[in-house]
Structure 1
Amino acid sequence: MIRPGDVVVYTKTKHTTSPGPRAHDIEPESRGEYYTYAVDKYWIVESVESDGITCRTRRGKSHRISLDDPRLRPASFWEKLFLRSKFPSPA
């Protein structure tokens, strides 16, 4: 059960020529010029509705995510403990 104020991790898929240091699950394209990879985003839940949740990033952007999105998960205890600086502060 996700509630407002909870911290969540959203795994975002990216497609560029050079993956960053936080990239994981890196796969090269067939022609070798681009890479497809995943990056974990650390967000806080602002509101919960029946059709989805609204999350806020550290820089203040809002994202609307469906509750059944497989890329969304609650932050683990260890992520909350060791990566707390990556999550936005509660408003």
Structure 2
Amino acid sequence: MAQFHPGDYVVFRITKFSTEPGPRAQDVRPAPYGETYNYYVDKYWTVRSVSPDGTLQLVTRRGKQHQVAMNDPRLRHATLFEKWFKADRFPTKDTFSQGSQNGMNTPDTTRVAQISGGMR
């Protein structure tokens, strides 16, 4: 199992369905009757904290928080290439500090999205 630490850059692969996949869509496949498409989108997040039970609290570029199990198969460390060439997609240290100074991003004031389930 991969070890994660606060401040680590991670990539979380989300499955999406829509009639018009965006430019970051990967592995685009049409539905059986062709009305929609099934595809993946990589989300570039940063580890905010690691719980003793193996749950990671991740933060997005805009400050939204997600809780993900450390052993989720959709979660992985960012590669050196991603850290270098896609650095603008990861949250900055300011995202963490702004949220705590404004009273945001604390467990009692923010609804934390819990992501569960496996790949489809």
Q: CA deviation at 1:24?
A: 0.3
Instruction: Provide the rounded CA distance (Å) in 2 between the counterparts of 1:21 and 1:72.
Output: 21
Report % sequence identity: 48
Partner residue of 2:83 out of 69, 80, 85:
80
Instruction: Provide the rounded CA distance (Å) in 2 between the counterparts of 1:26 and 1:32.
Output: 12
Q: CA deviation at 1:9?
A: 0.3
**What residue number does 1:32 align with?**
34
- Let me know the Cα RMSD of the aligned residues: 0.7
**What residue number does 1:44 align with?**
46
Q: CA deviation at 1:51?
A: 3.0
Read off the aligned partner of 1:18 and give its amino acid letter: E
Higher RCO (C-alpha 8 Å, min separation 6): 1
Q: TM-score, normalised by structure 2?
A: 0.74
Q: CA deviation at 1:52?
A: 1.1
Q: CA deviation at 1:37?
A: 0.2
Secondary structure of the residue aligned to 1:22 is: coil
Instruction: Provide the rounded CA distance (Å) in 2 between the counterparts of 1:25 and 1:76.
Output: 19
Secondary structure of the residue aligned to 1:21 is: coil
Could you list the runs of 5+ residues in structure 1 that have no partner in the other structure? none
Query: Higher strand proportion, which one?
Result: 1
Could you list the runs of 5+ residues in structure 2 that have no partner in the other structure? 97-120
Instruction: Provide the rounded CA distance (Å) in 2 between the counterparts of 1:20 and 1:38.
Output: 10
Misfit runs of 4+, over 3 Å: none
What is the aligned residue count? 91
